[in-house]
Structure 1
Amino acid sequence: MSYVITGGAGYIGSHLVDALTKLYNDIVVIDDFSNGNYVNKKAKYLKIDLRDSSISSLKIPAGSILYHLAANPDVRTSMINSYEHFSRDVIATFNVLEMARRNDVSLLIFASSSTVYGETGKIPTPENTELKPISNYGVFKLLGEHLLEYYSRVYGIKGVSIRLANVTGGRVSHGVIRDFVEKLRKNPYKLEILGNGKQRKSYIYITDVIDAFLTLEKKFNGLYDVFNVGNEDWITVDEIAKIVEEEMNLTPVHEYVDKGEGRGWVGDVRFMLLDISKIKQLGWKPNYSSAQAVRLAVRDLIYGYKL
């Protein structure tokens, strides 16, 4: 079995590479090392910027399974550095799809995001909910889904878009948990919290995400579909802060920075819980709750992630 993983030096991608190299020998990673620099010696690495149209002519083994995970993962900065995110999240995806088309890949799995839903009144949120993203990141991920669906329908590429909840744990590169740990390391007496602390979202531990990827790879039999991958519960930002403080044995004063309506930043989705019944029908479910995922992630950051 041959695999090609874009973004394999980054956060989620590096964990997928680790999992796949334990099972297979032919693993190719394509990354420009801009959002991660992890290297697994059992995989082959190509340092390539996916925004360059020449990627579409790259030769990869015919029949490969292609995971497209490369992106700028920071939702907040997508509202500031819009073109940079567009180029990494849309142009890069188009180039990868052209590469997939020309090399006859057997399956393309695209890492999308729960942000494509925006703020919906339907909680838990199923895959057939109307999509109204409120961040550039969400819009660009949705464009990626549309591109993959089009290439599947027109060119016959078998594809899956995975709408991820907040992924955490292990080499996590960004997000509220890492933010809290780093802030408290600098000042253990005060913790700045973006928003009003009441935002409530679903978190999933990185190993559960990799298990979901491999489940879909093996059990999806259609031409194209979308699957939510998240947890069955959720947790508030204040509760996350409490877990971080417990693990660091600190009792700081909280200082809230509200960007309006309780949001931590422009484009912040305040409430997110995905309906995961569709992927559960394939035999997958998370091993850790949102709170357990957060606690494990905090320990990974404090003590260093170990394989």
Structure 2
Amino acid sequence: MFRSCKTVPFLVVVALLVSLAVPTMAAPKLVLKLGTIRAEDDPTTLAANRFAELVKSKSGGSIEVKVYPNSQLGGINDMFAGMKVGLVDMMYEGLSSYPWVKGAEDFNIIAVPFLWKSYDHMKKALATPTFQKLFENAAEKSGVRVIVANGEAEARQLTTKNRPVKTPADFKGLKIRIAESAMVRKAMQALGANPIVIPFSELYMALRQGVAEAQENGFLTIKNQSLYEVQKYLIPTYYIRDVKAWYIGDAKWKSLSAEQQKILREAAEEAGDYMTAMTRKQLDETLAFLKTKMTVVEPDLDAIRKVVTPAFEDEDGKMWPRGLLKFVRDLD
């Protein structure tokens, strides 16, 4: 009896020592695959890398984001499809791409020409309860969710060869090269211009030979493609704007804890701000260069909007919810 009493505390001590010797099983690390279609040095991919760093820091290493640039996970539609079935976790790309997914068509309004007065105007609209409800509805219908829309994308501008364009009347008869876009065609026709679809690879020669006398691309494209050599006037219209969006498969999002979701949201906001800062610096430097090569003409954007925006009123209730166009237009 005496010996058995001595044995009990001995066994307790042994059990305690064994429990201390066995390492506690750590929770498995969450690994997310995030894709971009951009090159490694593009601001979009650099922002995605910053996002990965922020997530690692905020989660104490429990969440790892692996970034795949250069369309390694496929094009935009491939990644949208992948997010629906769990083959791809996340993507960072323009919000204007969201309507490519069935169920997110309400966001066609993002690409309406001359609608957005500034990037801040767009951000303010997206933060309203009206748009937040659209985001939630699109996530439920499409299977792809936007965590955060943040990160200024390059806006599209106008250049011409012989004609300074300031007012709606100056567009009349203007032969302008456009990409294949029903919205852009509609906007240019509303202004009285003559839009011509020309492949991007043929753009420089088309402008040089007079097949088209004007074109619409961003500052970076104008510089990188040397379009300033065959165009005289630079008209900063900022007529199509976009914001980068952090996309995630909705099923993946719902599988995360509230704390994990909070970490991703915070990191997305901060990385988006980083993207905006990089983009603005790059565009400011590019515009300064173009000013040494071209004549800058400041357009009357308010007058142009008064002509263009009504042309899209017949799409209200078809391409986006009825009343949304007026809501955006009236937002200060």
More helix by share: 2
Pairwise TM-score range, normalised by the shorter structure:
0.3 to 0.5
| Larger RCO, structures 1/2 (Cα 8 Å, 6+ apart) | 2
- Bigger radius of gyration, 1 or 2? 2
Q: State the TM-score, normalizing by the size of structure 2.
A: 0.33
In the superposition, the TM-score normalised over structure 1's length comes to 0.35
